[in-house]
Amino acid sequence: MKILNVDQIRALDQYTIQKEPIAPLNLMERAALAFVDWFVDHFPNTIPTKIFCGLGNNGGDGLAIARLLLEREYPIEVYVVRYAPRESDDFMHNHRRLKLVTEQISYVEYSRDIPAIRHNEVVIDAILGSGLSRPAEGIVKSTIETINRAPATVVSVDIASGLNADKPNDANDVIIEPDYTVTFQLPKLAFVLPKNGRYVGEWHVVDINLHKRYIDQANTPYFFTQPHEARLLLHKRDRFAHKGTFGHALLLVGSYGKIGAAVLSAKACLRSGVGLLTVQVPRCGYAVLQTAVPEAMCRPDGHQNVLTGVPDHGAGEAHSPSPADYSAIGIGPGIGKASETLAMLRDIIPLVTKPMVIDADALNLLSENQDLLEKLPPNSILTPHPKEFERLTQKWDNDYQKLDILREFAKKHRVIVVLKGAYSAVATPGGEVHFNSTGNPGLSTGGTGDVLTGVLTALLAQGYDPVEAAVLGVFAHGLAGDRVAEQRGPIGMTASDVIDALRWD
């Protein structure tokens, strides 16, 4: 699903009005109805509900919503926040319509007009929408502050009042902190950025049939991966396939005290459909790996405690294949930053031409040895969390600047970057960013990153296009986390649970 900016949303609105064609007032009615359909599914008509409306089209939506909820016998009180001398045309139409069905419209001009809000109430926030052009001040600001202080459940129409849809807010801006945002047609970029969490709440997109042709043709670097889109990326399996069909992956993982990371990435790789898997671990991890993951071949490193890349010839593998011979290589989980391990990276990277997966301490080694970035095979997948990404690049002032840095980095180095977090962002060498839609806070636990490395390495080994591997792998990993959360709750989830919950159908 595309994420469009405010100018594009406005143009999409106009395009729909002209090409469908539909009168603006009827489009507003459709939006209000879509909101109301969602609302009645979530709240019974016994809960006192206050709707705060601004004077633009977001306020117009609010008035139409009030009328539709009154028809459904919701106990509604309507408050119009009068911050400006002029109302939008569709606001005025809906104001007239609402007055035909209720006398109970209050006007908030001064602080004393703001009603008290109790804890068992619902507040619908329709003060300001995507037309926000400046920070909230005066009576708008006081109303927002009162709503935020209230113990009620707050639902924002389209976007929280005061939140910019596609650019940073100032730290001092006063913004509604909703429990839910019900947005029209497409998500806003603001919704997937970490700093905005409290200004978005749980968000839902409702379809209002805006013109598909405009959306199809709109240019945007930002996408939100929906389940059906991820499913389309899955490769179908041939009945006559054999293990060679699904590639032979090599994982370079683990160090003394971190063999668990090796085990987790290996298990996840096998659970993600790789044909054959070889795992190179330091000698100290050999017995552990052979026992914990009998399905994988183990290639012990010549070093006892850290990876050096030199195989342990004593272990009987006289002619070990070169790293370049594997279908895909994943490197990083648990490897530490020993100088021997850096030397291994320096040896291997120039040898490999196929995209690799690079994670954890391999990323930290790249941060400290940036010349290696230039030598990475094109379309390699890097999987930093924000701190690792900052080490690779620079500090950022806000989430929007972080996105710019992310896109620039992926383009410059011709790599795919999976920036991990809520709505993990997959940045491509072409400059696109795909935000993931699955996952939950339970995944913020040790080892889940190692699992992701195994997943992505398996997909590359099976011949997935690297961008598709990243988008699909991140989606499937998050979905596995969601399955675990559903079964046993998000707290106490382990990386092993996530491996067990991986599914590819």
Residues in contact with ligand NPW by CB under 6 A are: 9, 12-13, 27-28, 31, 54, 56-59, 61, 83-84, 88, 128-136, 140, 157-158, 184, 210
Among positive and negative, which fits the CA dihedral 400, 403, 408, 411?
negative
> Given the complex with ligand NPW, which of 108 and 417 has the nearer CB atom?
108
* Helices 89-101, 24-42: crossing angle, 10 deg rounding: 60
CB of 54 to K ion, least distance (A): 8
Q: Which does 136 bind (CB under 5 to 8 A by kind): ligand NPW, K ion, none?
A: ligand NPW
Total Cβ atoms within 10 A of residue 204: 15
> Given the complex with ligand NPW, which of 48 and 135 has the nearer CB atom?
135
* Helices 466-488, 448-461: crossing angle, 10 deg rounding: 140
Total Cβ atoms within 10 A of residue 71: 10
Tell me if 231 is assigned to a ligand binding site: no
CB of 129 to K ion, least distance (A): 5
Q: Which of 444, 458, 503 is nearest to 266 (CA)?
A: 458
| Residue 38 CA: distances (Å) to CA of 32, 157, 181, 369, 438 | 10, 11, 11, 52, 21
411's tokens: 């383009």
Tell me if 158 is assigned to a ligand binding site: yes
Q: Which does 156 bind (CB under 5 to 8 A by kind): K ion, ligand NPW, none?
A: K ion
> How many angstroms separate the CA atoms of 66 and 74, rounded?
9
The residue from 156, 278, 379, 428 that contacts K ion (CB under 5 A) is: 156
272 part of the interface to K ion, by CB under 5 A: no
| Residue 437 CA: distances (Å) to CA of 228, 258, 421 | 11, 30, 11
Tell me if 132 is assigned to a ligand binding site: yes
> Given the complex with ligand NPW, which of 190 and 452 has the nearer CB atom?
190
User: Which x/- pattern over 58-77 shows residues binding K ion (rule: CB under 5 A)?
Assistant: x-------------------
CB of 292 to K ion, least distance (A): 52
Q: How many residues bind K ion (CB under 5 A)?
A: 5
130 part of the interface to K ion, by CB under 5 A: no
Contact range with K ion by CB under 5 A, out of 50-58, 110-118, 223-231, 350-358: 50-58
> How many angstroms separate the CA atoms of 210 and 273, rounded?
39
The residue from 8, 57, 143, 161 that contacts K ion (CB under 5 A) is: 161
Type of residue numbered 203: W
Render the burial of 427-463: b for 16+ CB within 10 Å, e for the rest.
Answer: bbbeebbbbbbbbbebbbbebbbbbbbbbbbbbbbbe
Question: Binding site for (6S)-NADPHX: which residues?
Answer: 57-61, 129-135, 158, 261, 334, 385, 450
Residues in binding site: 57-61, 125, 129-135, 158, 161, 261, 334, 385, 420-424, 449-450
Binding residue ranges for AMP: 420-424, 449
